[in-house]
A and B are shown apart, each in its own frame.
Chain A
Amino acid sequence: MKILQERIKHTKFGESLIIETAIRIMVPFIQLFGLYVIVHGHYSPGGGFQGGVILGASFILIGLGYDFKTSLSRMQEKTNIILGNLGALLYTGVAILCALMGGLFLDYSALDKLIPMGPIEWRSFGIFLVEVGVGLAVMSIMVSLFWDLCSGGDLDEGL
């Protein structure tokens, strides 16, 4: 009780213990759900765009519930940039790999020469690779939009 009172005295206005605990419990499940939406996009509503937005929303939730510094410490700016570039490059890389393997640009069935598992199965798996790329890019851009817009570009003080 004593520790709790000390803690409440030191927190700034607007930071609540209840909200912080709820977010700490919820964020891993939100990220797990985002990964599920990306990976399970073949069999249920979902896909790269939706799952990427959910993954980005988990980091935005940390930034809203705690403060800006915590959000930055959970996801470094450099990591974020690398993930975004990796996502966009994964999409174009798969497309160019298809062209290099002798098919058309973005014709995933040409990747059958790389790992033989049937051209139709490769069309299904190629969509999965592409969706992962889209999800990474969308997550990174969402988090970066929130950081830049809420701190005015300084990335030190925010909401």
Chain B
Amino acid sequence: MKALAFVATLVTGAILLYGTMDFPAWGDPQAPASVHLSTHYIEEAVAETHVPNIVTAVLGDYRGYDTMFETIVIYCAGLAVVSVLRRSR
């Protein structure tokens, strides 16, 4: 069982390493992740929201819907833990 798990892990790692052959090098400014959408946020976020911290601006304003449900997720996690464990005497 352990040998099977080890082989499966090695195969998965080898496939992933083969997949990283086409990935951009570390710190490449022309990487596909850095040229499409994020340039708009970097150039316009301060003018549009007056928040110097771009991470906060994107988290609270542009992706506010995402963050709202993030809060709901952690709220539901707390609710789940209380309802699973809490015993009132």
Contact = CB atoms under 8 A, between A and B. Distances in A.
**A–B contact, 8 Å CB criterion (strictly below):** yes
B47 to A, nearest CB: 8
A153 B56 contact: no
A66 interface: no
A144 B82 contact: yes
A47 B56 contact: yes
B11 interface: no
Contacts of B85: 148-149, 152-153
Interface residues of B, number: 29
A131 B60 CA distance: 7
A91 B73 CA distance: 13
B49 interface: yes
Interface centre among B52, B55, B57, B67 (most CB of A within 10 A): B67
A97 interface: no
B61 A148 contact: no
B77 interface: yes
Given A87-B71, A124-B51, A138-B74, A148 B56 contact: no
Contacts of B70: 134
Contact of A141 (B50, B57, B77, B89): B77
A37 to B, nearest CB: 11
Contacts of B26: none
A133 B48 CA distance: 23
A31 interface: no
B53 interface: yes
A84 B57 contact: no
A69 interface: no
A156 B86 CA distance: 11
Given A126-B60, A127-B57, A154 B87 contact: yes
